[in-house]
Amino acid sequence: MSPRADEAGTGVSPRPGSADPDRRETENARTRAGEAWGTRIGLILAMAGNAVGLGNFLRFPTQAANNGGGSFMITYFAALLLLGIPLMWIEWGLGRNGGRYRKGHLPGLLAAVWRHPAAKYLGVVGLVIPMAVMVYYTYIESWTLAYAFFSATGDYWGRETQDAMVGYLRSFQGVGEERVHGVLTPFLFFTVTLVVNIWVVSKGVAAGIERLARIAMPTLFILAVLLAIAVLLQPPSAGGDTPIRGLQFIYGPDFSRLTDASVWLASAGQIFFTLSVGMGSLAAYASYLSRRDDIALNGLATAATNETAEVVLGGTIAIPAAVTFFGVSGAVAIAQSGSFNLGFATMSVVFQQMAGGQLLGTAWFGLLFFAGITSSVAMLTPILAFLREEFGVRREWAAWGLGGITFVLGLLHIIWLEHGFLDEWDYWAGTFGLVVVALLEVIAFVWIYGPANAWRSIHEGADIRIPRFFKFVITYVTPVYLLIILVWWGATDALPILGLSRAAGGGPVVAATLPYIWAARAALLGMAMVFLVLIHWAWRRNGYDDRAGLPEVPELQGGDRA
């Protein structure tokens, strides 16, 4: 951070040597170019934006309602304290440590803490997973943009039943026989969404991602608060259902579920997904920080902001609205039919019943779009860092090049959505893969680098002292928690899905979808092979010695790799 920026209250300290006029000139030039975080609040908002996503508003309330309501919150907060917040600190610590070696990608981050030839290759999962998730997440994000447009124009007005709106959603997705829109409509919204994403990423960390977060995050919170108020003020329905019954539905405790292991795993999974850990993007963001910058308090603030968005706002909109208009039994059926039906079909029906529905519908889908885009712009950051740091590719070229690849792969998801192509990627990259990456990060940063080193590293420049209890948690509890999740999901989901005895999207595997399932797996494996070759090439090209360790780069700006 430049001295000038620090004077503006960034919370990011001046670097040693910043009194040197030449250095200061360089630092200011870098800051102006948007190659480091501009302000501390901007950093927290960008990190929180990364964490706050569609799951906060769609997945959380359905998970809570389906897993014991109020008693789910006990397991949820246990997972937050023992899994989520420790993982947040670990990703920030691993990322900032990698920044010392000018590395913002997992192969480099692992090599920075583990001087072994295998480290860099294991890091391939930290390139494949964000790339794969970016592709289909951007596609789903484009639905929210489309629905914001459809709400504003009243396109679906008149379709006032759940079945009608599910049909409308399937039509938009190109699934089934009914066609409401032109065949190119989903392609158009996907292209627009992707272009906006890539444009933001191409502008760099401060001028692109941070600027987006400073606009999108406050907007998101304002929209969520307005929607929550609008829902809570709804009068009772003809059947006597109210939004308060919706809150009762979410928070009414069922203590018998506390002894059910699946509830503990469901809450751990929700915490895991909502904080965006295991993607490598938080670490990539943190790699732009220096040793003098706080990560302990910033990491906690990021997690807390995400939790406010999820628990207070996410739980107060969709399910209370669904209960008011469909009753508890209707809401149960909707919640069990999936988050997308709740978010896109049910909410569209609800808004048609409410005063100012078009405006509220636009606000709801706009809120989801902002939640989505602040997450998706983070996903390309590790790959962008890899291309820039190891091959010297210009940021704009790297961003638009990756955008082109994302576009081509995204077309496969649009065309083959009904054949389970997206479900397959969502399971292996967006569900199982995240746990694998998180476990790798914990093992490397805590066990290989050493608990004492990890603990000291997290406290470098810290504005708070983390209670020592968490050192034990980070060293033992979090890895065991992750291992249990991995083994449980491996046994109950991964093996049946891998063996084709169950589809990744649920239900039995249909023979006609087999070629698409194998194509999806081949695409993921192909992507991994390409990245493995690139990692090998990068290490040879740059002359890295695995045993001697990566060369440390003198701190300038907390990073110049944006």
Contact residues toward another protein (CB under 8 A) are 9, 11, 13, 40-41, 44, 69-71, 73, 77, 244-245, 247-248, 250-253, 291-292, 294, 297-298, 300-301, 304-305, 307-308, 310-312, 452, 455-457, 459-465, 468
C-alpha–C-alpha distance, residues 3 and 149, integer Å: 43
Cβ proximity to another protein: between 185 and 248 the closer is 248
Instruction: Kindly state the smallest distance separating residue 293's Cβ from another protein, in Å.
Output: 9
Instruction: Kindly state the smallest distance separating residue 86's Cβ from another protein, in Å.
Output: 15
Cβ proximity to another protein: between 107 and 559 the closer is 559
Cβ proximity to another protein: between 307 and 424 the closer is 307
Angle between helix 106-113 and 381-391 (nearest 10):
70
C-alpha–C-alpha distance, residues 20 and 137, integer Å: 45
Query: Any idea what the Cα angle at residue 331 is, between residues 325 and 335, rounded to 5°?
Result: 140
Cβ proximity to another protein: between 462 and 532 the closer is 462
C-alpha–C-alpha distance, residues 138 and 197, integer Å: 8
CB atoms within 10 A of CB 221: 18
Q: What is the DSSP string of 249-293?
A: HHH---GGGGG-HHHHHHHHHHHHHHTTTTSSHHHHHHTT--TTS
Question: Where are any strands of DSSP class E within 443-523?
Answer: none
Instruction: Kindly state the smallest distance separating residue 522's Cβ from another protein, in Å.
Output: 42
Cβ proximity to another protein: between 56 and 374 the closer is 56
Instruction: Kindly state the smallest distance separating residue 52's Cβ from another protein, in Å.
Output: 12
Compute CA distances 562 → 62, 205, 215, 357, 548, whole Å: 37, 5, 20, 41, 26
Per the CB < 8 A criterion, the answer to whether 191 and 183 are in contact is no
Which pair of structure tokens corresponds to residue 119? 């480290």
Of 1, 301, 325, 282, nearest to 162 by C-alpha is: 325
Which pair of structure tokens corresponds to residue 524? 């993921």
Residue type, 261: A
Instruction: Kindly state the smallest distance separating residue 144's Cβ from another protein, in Å.
Output: 24
Cβ proximity to another protein: between 293 and 560 the closer is 293
Cβ proximity to another protein: between 56 and 144 the closer is 56
Query: Any idea what the Cα angle at residue 385 is, between residues 538 and 376, rounded to 5°?
Result: 135
Per the CB < 8 A criterion, the answer to whether 561 and 98 are in contact is no
Instruction: Kindly state the smallest distance separating residue 93's Cβ from another protein, in Å.
Output: 11
Cβ proximity to another protein: between 275 and 435 the closer is 275
Instruction: Kindly state the smallest distance separating residue 83's Cβ from another protein, in Å.
Output: 16
Instruction: Kindly state the smallest distance separating residue 298's Cβ from another protein, in Å.
Output: 7
Cβ proximity to another protein: between 426 and 555 the closer is 555
Instruction: Kindly state the smallest distance separating residue 73's Cβ from another protein, in Å.
Output: 5
Cβ proximity to another protein: between 168 and 273 the closer is 273
Per the CB < 8 A criterion, the answer to whether 386 and 127 are in contact is yes
* Residue with the two structure tokens 């999901």: 489
C-alpha–C-alpha distance, residues 130 and 107, integer Å: 13
Instruction: Kindly state the smallest distance separating residue 330's Cβ from another protein, in Å.
Output: 19
